[in-house]
Structure 1
Amino acid sequence: MAPQHPTAALLLCELVMEIFSWVPAKPLTRLKLVCKSWNSIISHPHFVKLHLYRSPKNAILLFTRTEALTLDEGAKWGLVLSSVESFIQNPSSALDAQENRHSLHIADWVSGSCNGLVCVAHSPYHPNNDICDIWLRLWNPLIGFISENSPCLRVNLPIAFGFGYDESSDSYKVVTVIRDSSGTVTAQVYSFGGSSWKTINSFPAFPFSVENNGHFIGGTLNWLGLRNPHRDDYDWATVTLDMLMIVSFDLKSDTHKQILLPKGIHEIPREEPILGVWGNSLYLLHDYKNTHLIAWQMKEFGDENSWTQFLKISFQHLGVERLLSVFIFENGNIFMLRGRHHFEEVFYDRRDNSVKRINILANNSYLDALEYVESLVQPR
């Protein structure tokens, strides 16, 4: 057989790359095993970025859940990956499927997800409960990639996290927001692959719910927080509207700015509001006089005039007593809320005003949700 012409070989390679770029990530991990040329194409950094760009966004949900152990051991975290469609049709089955589940170590927890990478924090027990040592690493559950640990960060509690991607430097960054005993708020920034943490002084606010990670959108991490809180045990009844602010941290410049709240909020909610992201939109949810849930959408991220109220519904109709947690998916059409019972999840579909209640978890477990996209990303 005559040797293949270089131009023909190149065209064939480009054709294969084009076809493979539309194939879901999971089958591609098997196609890599077919031959060396396919493995070379699928593993190439250019192809990985092209495939990520063409992957369907918001198609996968990543759930973090605890599996309660003994009092001495504490709680063990795990991950569950599920397609949006499977989860909506049968949440319990989607969460219980063994092939979708991944375990974490006892001292691990998830601090964010971006481009198919999960940022895992590790903090072993420290005899001084006000101080903790933290290491972070990146994990791609699909391909089994695990990065080297970050340098150790010793911090005072409480702390809040954020994880995202800086396209300008092609790097993944984690941000920890820290408040010391004097009330001073600072941030520590680490770029994976680097050798040290960078300190950002005079951070303007501290997230009042440290369980909520910073929300990644448009190259920024965003938290809803209190302006210059002086102590940990603040009383929400004393919080005023001017103390609330959204802090947006730019991962390219390592600078922060304030995003104003919607102009239609004229009084402080009775419960702590919730910030969220789905797709390319920032959401703000809050209660109204303890009777209704109100949801705002920033239709153009960064444009404070694009805040639009798109939902107001009574807690009575939803079957919830208060605003404990909310996750938004399906382009802002479906809301998952914590029900009257700790292990009951309530699904509200605003397209037909329907409400569905499901007892998803048992055995003293806890569930939280993040956006996720399966990818072949493996930072170097």
Structure 2
Amino acid sequence: MESLTKPSQTTESQRLPDDILFDILSRLPVQNLMQYRCVCKSWQSMISDPQFIKTHLHRSTQSLDTQRLMVTHPSNDHFISLDCKSLHESKRVDSPWKTSYSYAKVLCTCDGLILLCFNYKAFMSPNRNRDNEFVLWNPTIRKHVMFSCPYNYINSGSSMLYGLCFDSSTNGYKVIMLSESFGVYVCVFDLKTLCWKEIRESSFSISCRENGVLVNGALHWIMTSKKCNSSVIVYFDLVEEKFKEVPKPDFGGKNVEFGLVGLRGWLCVYGWMDTTQVDVWAMKEYGKKESWTKWITISAKRGSTFLCYLKPLCLRNTGEVLVEIGNRELAVYDPKECTFKIPLSFWNVHSLTVATYVESLVLLYDDDDTTKVRHRKVNPNRGYRNRLKK
């Protein structure tokens, strides 16, 4: 009787070449990749490699199907993640930091990372003065970095503006915080060097309470130019560390209040031309004034009701626009039929906090998912190096 033989193991000649395996894996969803890291050490090493993470991120950001929304839940102890393709496909995401006396708020996103700030409930917090704590969080792989700002004027109030971006010149992420007090103060936190820097800007003043819009690798805000005393679009140059203007659309001589949003990689402006509609302009060639094109018109009337607030959030492959209505409701607008559908209401929310993001592997290669960045007070206008808590 022949003895039983063990199943033959995969030989080197039967293995897929690494470049083909790399290409296949980099097209898969994050949830699958997190499981496939357990297949073998070589797969774990490949999926955790920074170059793989970068390639996977690039492919994710190129597809409209991968976009998701992160919504602050009314209870403030968790978030709701929604698929932009179907608002009914939602899932609960627990907050990375829970206490009985504080709650987290979504500020902005970049490459699958979400910047959160902590708000402390009145008369409940043992650290009432510590209102400058933040978390850089990847909800898909559930890893985060905690840090706090050493500058006392930074807080979570309405006067603060935020932004998160990737600096290609240093190959690292940076958090930008704006505050106005006898001028605009810009606080830059470098996640790679763990360094803070403070910069003062005197040519502009904050005029719009929207956080930074990331387009073309730069963060954009609407500010008031002290030179011409009018609203302008500016971006923060990470290399020269100063604001620079971007030409705005020609509104036909009208004084239009407008906001910024990024759609399909274009810098877009949305504004009320009258009480009946919101127009969306897209800058098809970045930096060129003549490339501004009136792109989408969204009716401000639903049934017999005129809507007082509309903001486009993202664009679907069908051409439909996902919009935020009145800070309490999400809906899909069909430009062809001029109708709203799939409403999702949050009536018990005082002010809806929504941010678009993609699922990514960024932060996967960090060893400690609860890294706490400590700081020490420094003199203004001086950078310093933080230290990681051991």
SS of aligned partner of 2:89: helix
Counterpart residue number, 1:350 = 335
1:168, distance to aligned residue in structure 2 (A): 2.4
CA 1:255/1:222 → structure 2, altered by over 3 Å: closer, same or farther? same
Counterpart residue number, 1:15 = 20
CA 1:207/1:141 → structure 2, altered by over 3 Å: closer, same or farther? same
CA 1:221/1:143 → structure 2, altered by over 3 Å: closer, same or farther? same
Counterpart residue number, 2:378 = none
- Which residue identity is paired with 1:81? S
From 50, 55, 68, give the equivalent of 1:45. Answer: 50
Decide whether the 8 Å contact of 1:133 with 1:153 is kept in 2. no
- Which residue identity is paired with 2:356? E
Counterpart residue number, 1:94 = 89
Distance (whole Å) between structure 2 residues aligned to residue 375 and residue 144 of structure 1: 11
Decide whether the 8 Å contact of 1:221 with 1:251 is kept in 2. no
From 123, 135, 138, give the equivalent of 2:136. Answer: 138
Task: Point out the structure with the larger helix share.
Answer: 1
Counterpart residue number, 2:212 = 214
Distance (whole Å) between structure 2 residues aligned to residue 281 and residue 332 of structure 1: 18
The percent of aligned pairs where both chains have the same amino acid is 25
1:57 aligns with 2:58: no
Moved more, 284-293 or 164-173: 284-293
CA 1:247/1:77 → structure 2, altered by over 3 Å: closer, same or farther? farther
1:335, distance to aligned residue in structure 2 (A): 3.2
SS of aligned partner of 1:149: strand
CA 1:145/1:203 → structure 2, altered by over 3 Å: closer, same or farther? farther
1:293, distance to aligned residue in structure 2 (A): 1.6
From 307, 310, 333, give the equivalent of 2:292. Answer: 307
- Which residue identity is paired with 1:194? T
Greater radius of gyration (CA): 2
Distance (whole Å) between structure 2 residues aligned to residue 30 and residue 338 of structure 1: 35
Decide whether the 8 Å contact of 1:132 with 1:155 is kept in 2. no
Distance (whole Å) between structure 1 residues aligned to residue 32 and residue 38 of structure 2: 11
Decide whether the 8 Å contact of 2:133 with 2:147 is kept in 1. yes
Distance (whole Å) between structure 2 residues aligned to residue 368 and residue 107 of structure 1: 13
CA 1:109/1:332 → structure 2, altered by over 3 Å: closer, same or farther? farther
1:279 aligns with 2:264: yes
Counterpart residue number, 2:34 = 29
Aligned residue pair count: 344
1:375 aligns with 2:376: no
CA 1:354/1:362 → structure 2, altered by over 3 Å: closer, same or farther? closer
1:327 aligns with 2:313: yes
- Give deviations 1:37-77, integer Å, cap 9, x for gaps: 21111111221112212225342222222415xxxxxxx26
Distance (whole Å) between structure 1 residues aligned to residue 248 and residue 103 of structure 2: 36
Give me the TM-score of the superposition, normalised by structure 1.
0.79
Distance (whole Å) between structure 2 residues aligned to residue 16 and residue 314 of structure 1: 48
- Which residue identity is paired with 1:85? K
From 238, 253, 267, give the equivalent of 2:254. Answer: 267
CA 1:320/1:2 → structure 2, altered by over 3 Å: closer, same or farther? closer
Distance (whole Å) between structure 2 residues aligned to residue 107 and residue 344 of structure 1: 21
Decide whether the 8 Å contact of 1:133 with 1:154 is kept in 2. no
CA 1:258/1:33 → structure 2, altered by over 3 Å: closer, same or farther? same
Distance (whole Å) between structure 2 residues aligned to residue 11 and residue 168 of structure 1: 35
CA 1:359/1:126 → structure 2, altered by over 3 Å: closer, same or farther? closer
Counterpart residue number, 1:191 = 190
1:122 aligns with 2:107: no
Gap regions ≥5 residues in structure 2: 1-7, 124-128, 367-390
Decide whether the 8 Å contact of 1:329 with 1:335 is kept in 2. yes
Distance (whole Å) between structure 1 residues aligned to residue 49 and residue 196 of structure 2: 30
Distance (whole Å) between structure 2 residues aligned to residue 360 and residue 314 of structure 1: 19
Distance (whole Å) between structure 2 residues aligned to residue 291 and residue 11 of structure 1: 59
SS of aligned partner of 2:267: strand
1:187, distance to aligned residue in structure 2 (A): 0.9
Distance (whole Å) between structure 1 residues aligned to residue 167 and residue 26 of structure 2: 23
Distance (whole Å) between structure 2 residues aligned to residue 220 and residue 293 of structure 1: 25
Decide whether the 8 Å contact of 1:205 with 1:245 is kept in 2. no
Moved more, 118-127 or 257-266: 118-127
Decide whether the 8 Å contact of 2:314 with 2:356 is kept in 1. no
1:367, distance to aligned residue in structure 2 (A): 2.9
